[in-house]
Amino acid sequence: MFRPGKPIQRLWFPALLLIALILSGCAPALVSNTNPSSAATMAPVSVATTASGTISVVAAENFYGDVAQQIGGKHVSVTSILSDPNVDPHEYESNVQNAIAVTNAHLVIENGDGYDAWMDKLLSASPDPNRIVVTAADVVRHKLPDNEHYWYSPDNMQDVAQAITDSLKKLDPADQADFDANLAIFKQSLDTIRQSLSAISAKCHGTPVALTETIFLYQTELMDLHMMTPFEFQKAVAEGNDPPADTVAAFNDQLSQKQVKVLIYNVQTVTPVTTNLQNEAKRMNIPIVPVSETMPSGKTYQQWMLYQLTNLRQALGG
């Protein structure tokens, strides 16, 4: 059984210090929030009291938290910070509850590469040499240029799952057999996603599609779909910037001339430009396939990926 090695008295001191700094305005600056209302609409993170003998895990994003729960099972208590699919993750601003959760964590999982830079600041504010941090950017082997959405690749999620398993085994060697067994089940479940990707590729490879943001490129590549949208447009939207005017015009022409079969629309990075393109797709009766950056409630990572792929296959006529 895992026995937490951090006395509760020591855990609260840095958390309280950080809270005091935040309230006094002296804490390190967190992620800037271009939409002041987003912090209010973000569902508050629930910081449950860690039961004796379990590993406290904090995941920056809920899909990583779900993987940690699947592998850790009864041996972990997982808190996921980003969990609302209706909020743009790029505009998220961390809070005191997040700081307390990170302070008390034995294992922290983040994406890295700037996607969740606020987590790095929380970690720096409460240093702990005994805490293990898994950063997806450091362990995944399949990286697309200028694209940090690693979790959209099943191979990458297998890499992250392995790193989580290795970390849990270090924290709780007595239960490593459970972690290994759960990892084997998780790896096998990813084959269903790979099979869905292969099935779409077999029937629809080369089909022209449009994409409002870079998030889905990890899967369009695996399905061998022909991405028509200028990369500069996708990257600008992903980074919260206005896309170049010529790329907007090219995108609109592709829709108005029905050069694409479907529009894959990131519902969490919505701007007036993407809304106008969505309306143009509707006007031209081009199917719209919604995708999200964080996992919808009530679904596992595997169910989420398969649900979106099913919608895409239907939209492609497959």
Q: Which of 192, 226, 245 is the endpoint of a domain?
A: 192
Q: Which of 192, 211, 226 is the endpoint of a domain?
A: 192
pLDDT level of residue 195 (50, 70, 90 thresholds) = very high
pLDDT digits (tens, 9 = 90+) for 156-178: 999 999 999 999 999 999 999 99
pLDDT digits (tens, 9 = 90+) for 267-276: 988 999 999 9
For residue 28, pLDDT over 70 is answered with no
Same domain, 159 and 263: no
Take residue 210 and report the two structure tokens written for it: 């449009």
- Number of neighbours of residue 114 by Cβ within 10 angstroms: 12
Same domain, 61 and 184: yes
Take residue 120 and report the two structure tokens written for it: 């790095």
CA distances to 92, 223, 296 from 153, in Å: 23, 12, 18
As a whole number of Å, the end-to-end CA separation of the chain is 49
Same domain, 161 and 33: yes
CA distances to 12, 69, 107, 166, 184 from 72, in Å: 25, 5, 11, 11, 12
Per residue, the 3-state secondary structure of 144-168, as one string, reads ECCECCHHHCHHHHHHHHHHHHHHH
Give the structural domain span for 278. 201-315
For residue 52, pLDDT over 80 is answered with no
Q: What is the pLDDT of residue 240?
A: 87
- Residue 104 makes CB contacts below 8 A (sequence gap 6+) with 6, 11, 15, 47, 50, 56
For residue 306, pLDDT over 50 is answered with yes
Looking at residue 205, which CATH number applies to its domain?
3.40.50.1980
- Number of neighbours of residue 249 by Cβ within 10 angstroms: 11
Q: What is the pLDDT of residue 19?
A: 44
For residue 135, pLDDT over 50 is answered with yes
Same domain, 108 and 228: no
Same domain, 74 and 183: yes
CA distances to 44, 85, 262, 309, 310 from 315, in Å: 35, 22, 7, 10, 9
Q: Does any domain span residue 74?
A: yes
Distance CA 49, CA 60 (A): 18
For residue 34, pLDDT over 50 is answered with no
Same domain, 137 and 209: no
Same domain, 115 and 154: yes
Interval 104-122 mean pLDDT: 95
Same domain, 185 and 220: no
Q: Does any domain span residue 3?
A: no
Lowest mean pLDDT among 1-5, 22-26, 251-255: 22-26
Q: Residue 258: left (phi > 0), alpha (psi -120 to 50), or beta?
A: left
Higher pLDDT, 64 or 41: 64
Q: Does any domain span residue 2?
A: no
pLDDT level of residue 89 (50, 70, 90 thresholds) = confident
How many domains, in total, are found in the chain?
2
Distance CA 28, CA 35 (A): 20
For residue 281, pLDDT over 70 is answered with yes
Report the share of the chain in percent with pLDDT over 70: 81
Q: What is the pLDDT of residue 33?
A: 30
Distance CA 66, CA 132 (A): 18
Take residue 252 and report the two structure tokens written for it: 């609109």
Same domain, 230 and 135: no
The model's pTM is 0.83
Higher pLDDT, 18 or 49: 18
Same domain, 78 and 52: yes
Contact at 8 Å (CB) between 231 and 50? no
